[in-house]
Amino acid sequence: MAEVGILIIDDDIVSQRALKNILDSEGWRVRIVPLASHAMLEIASGQWNLVIVNVALTDIRGPLFATLRDLAQGQADAPEGGSVDSARPKRIRVLFLVPLLAARHVQPVLEREALPYSLKPYHLHDFLEKVSELLLEAGAIEDPIRSMGDLSPGGKRTTARRKIRDSRRNSMFASREDYQMTEEEMAEFEQQEEEDRKRRDKERKGLEHL
pLDDT, tens digit, 9 for 90 and up, residues 143-189: 887 644 444 334 444 445 444 444 444 455 555 444 444 556 556 66
DSSP assignment of 82-132: SS--TTS----EEEEEE-HHHHHHHHHHHHHTT--EEESSB-HHHHHHHHH
Q: What is the pLDDT of residue 178?
A: 44
Closest CA to 48 of 31, 69, 72, 27: 31
End-to-end CA distance of the chain: give it in Å, rounded: 41
Domain segments of the chain as ranges: 5-180
Can you give the pTM of this predicted structure? 0.69
**70 SS3 class:** helix
- Between 78-82, 93-97, 122-126, 195-199, the lowest mean confidence (pLDDT) is in 78-82
Residues 6+ apart with CB under 8 A from 103: 119
Domain 5-180 = CATH 3.40.50.2000: no
Sheet bearing 117-119, strands edge to edge:
29-33, 5-9, 50-54, 93-98, 117-119
What CA–CA distance (Å, rounded) separates 80 from 65? Answer: 20
Q: How many CB atoms lie within 10 A of CB 12?
A: 21
pLDDT digits (tens, 9 = 90+) for 39-98: 999 999 989 999 999 999 999 999 999 999 999 998 766 565 544 444 444 689 999 999
Region of 161 please: left (phi>0), alpha (psi -120 to 50) or beta: alpha
